Amino acid sequence: MSPHETRATLALALVFALRMFGMFSILPVLALYAKDLPGAAGPTLIGVALGIDGLAQALLQIPMGLLSDRIGRKPVIYAGLVLFALGSFVAASADSIALIIVGRLIQGTGAISSAVIALIADLTREEHRSKSMAVIGMSIGLTFGASMVLGPALKHWIGVSGIFALTGGLALVAMAVVRFVVPTPSISRQHADAGTVPGQIGAVLRNTELQRLNFGIFSLHASMRGLFVVVPFLLVSVGGLSVDRHWMVYLPILVVSFVVIVPAIIVAEKYGKMKQVFCGAVALLFLSLLLMAVFANAYVGVLTTLFLYFVAFNLLEATLPSLISKIAPAGSKGTAIGVYNSFQFFGLFLGGALGGFLSQHVGSESVFVFSAGLAVAWLLLAISMRAPPAVRTLLFHVEPMDGAAAQRLSAALARVDGVTEAVVIPDEGVACLKVKIGGWDEPAARTLMKLGS
């Protein structure tokens, strides 16, 4: 990548990290803090507080991305970060569970993920965009791990109100990064590989293979948010750990789970065993959640099943985006990801809200049983899915051409050895190719794109 592209990628990865740190670091401590707030009256409203930001993001992340196509990326990002900071400061000043819920809801309205991704697409060339997206993905994964460890420590040092205030401050820092570090694109336009195209949403929703993945990410994040309604209380009641010592649980579990999944990812991608690894991870998710319900009153059991859960969770978080890329039609990847992200956020909301309700009215074990039920339904869908093709998606710049010429070039590229799908999008000047991982005739494809036919 050029220095300009590297600067844009690293700066926007930092924006993601600054925003996500506040959202993630509150998860392991909010339930224990909120139980003593006026109006809490049990886990139900605690679960709503944990999940309500997901509802706002599910409803707004696609519209805000589309709005950024019309008025520009940075204005939408600034507005989203202001809302996120405002919600954080409202939650920091909260003296009741109701005000915590309001603050978290306002936080969720700052749904800038799609606008940030679109800005990355504006600032990077087609052939380097996947690298930028990979950097963003790594920044989110590292931020999640750091947040789980630092959240309990921050609760001890500055309290939960302090974490919310810090979150608001980090959002303001992110605004400064966008203003002074992130380049302003000369042209902003819609990108089929990175943004949602409204006309494609119906086809994406009807795609049965993508439906399986959408249900999967919904289930995965529902289980995760429900888990944080219950597990902090188990670490206190069963393990006798004060909340400021919970990092001693999360740190080794997350570090070891990250290490354990690396060989599985290599086997899935390099050796074409994606379906086997994927189904194995979903099966492990189901098993870990079921065992959580069984061993909820045994400290060693809680730790063991929590480790198994995060192995499955991290492996699925790493493989699901790859599956989306392999399965989605070449010209609809951005729309498929937008829909997928909306299901993820709905999962966060349902997992928190329903997890709190079940914990209060049925018992904490019922949260794990419900999540295990989602996981076993997902497992059945995963087993019956078609094995994803061993392909990767590549983007290339092409010279301007009319629609007829784009169709001819698409057909010619599709006939190149090793190319499984090709779509030329003339309005964007982009050729989107799915090529076999085992090898393809790149020189022939480049010759065709240079000639334009």
> Per residue in 285-337, pLDDT tens?
999 999 999 999 999 999 999 999 999 999 999 999 999 989 999 889 999 99
Q: What is the value of pTM for the model shown? A: 0.94
Summarize the confidence of residues 95-116 as an average pLDDT.
96
- pLDDT exceeds cutoff 90 at 272: no
Q: What is the pLDDT of residue 126?
A: 80
**pLDDT above 60 (res 267):** yes
* 5-32 per-position pLDDT tens digit: 999 999 999 999 999 998 999 999 999 9
Q: Report pLDDT for 229.
A: 96
Q: What is the pLDDT of residue 49?
A: 96
Q: Residue 402 corresponds to which tokens in the numbers above?
A: 């009319």
* pLDDT higher than threshold 90 for residue 74: yes
CB 324 within 8 A of CB 385: no
Angle between helices 208-237 and 274-294 (to 10 degrees): 30
Q: Structure tokens of 18? A: 């600054």
pLDDT tens for 136-159 read 999 999 999 999 999 999 999 999
Residues 6+ apart with CB under 8 A from 204: 210, 328, 332, 335, 336, 339
pLDDT value for 331: 84
**Based on the number of CB atoms within 10 Å of its own CB, is 186 exposed (0-12), middle (13-18) or buried (19 or more)?**
exposed
Q: At the top level of CATH, which class does the domain 1-195 belong to? A: mainly alpha
What value does the mean pLDDT take over residues 86-100? 97
Tokens of 299: 């400290």
> Measured between alpha carbons, how far apart are the two ends of the chain, in Å?
28
Q: Is 260 exposed, middle or buried (0-12, 13-18, 19+ CB in 10 A)?
A: middle
What percent of the chain clears pLDDT 70, i.e. is strictly above it? 100
Of the pLDDT bands very low, low, confident and very high (cuts 50, 70, 90), residue 195 is confident
The span from the CA of 37 to the CA of 11, in Å, is: 38
What's the pLDDT score for residue 182? 95
- Looking at domain 391-451, its CATH class is alpha beta
- Work out the mean pLDDT of the chain and round it to a whole number: 94
Contact 101, 34 (CB under 8 A): no
**Mean pLDDT to the nearest integer, 385-398:** 90
Section 404-430 average pLDDT: 92
Crossing angle, helix 27-34 and helix 3-25, to 10 degrees?
A: 20
Give the separation between CA 375 and CA 286, rounded to whole angstroms.
5
pLDDT score recorded for residue 428: 85
Return residue ranges of the chain for CATH 1.20.1250.20: 1-195, 209-388
Q: For residue 451, what pLDDT band results from cuts at 50, 70 and 90?
A: confident
Task: For 120, list phi and psi in degrees, rounded to 5.
Answer: -60, -45
Task: Return the SS3 of 397.
Answer: strand
Specify the pLDDT at position 48. Answer: 97
| Cβ contact 115:57 at 8 Å | no
The segment(s) of the chain belonging to CATH 3.30.70.100 are: 391-451
Secondary structure string (H, E, C) spanning 351-390: HHHHHHHHHHHCCHHHHHHHHHHHHHHHHHHHHCCCCCCC
Residue 453: pLDDT over 60: no
CATH of range 209-388; options 1.10.1040.10, 3.40.50.300, 3.40.190.10, 1.20.1250.20: 1.20.1250.20
Helix (H) / strand (E) containing 161: helix 129-180
Three-state secondary-structure class, residue 37: coil
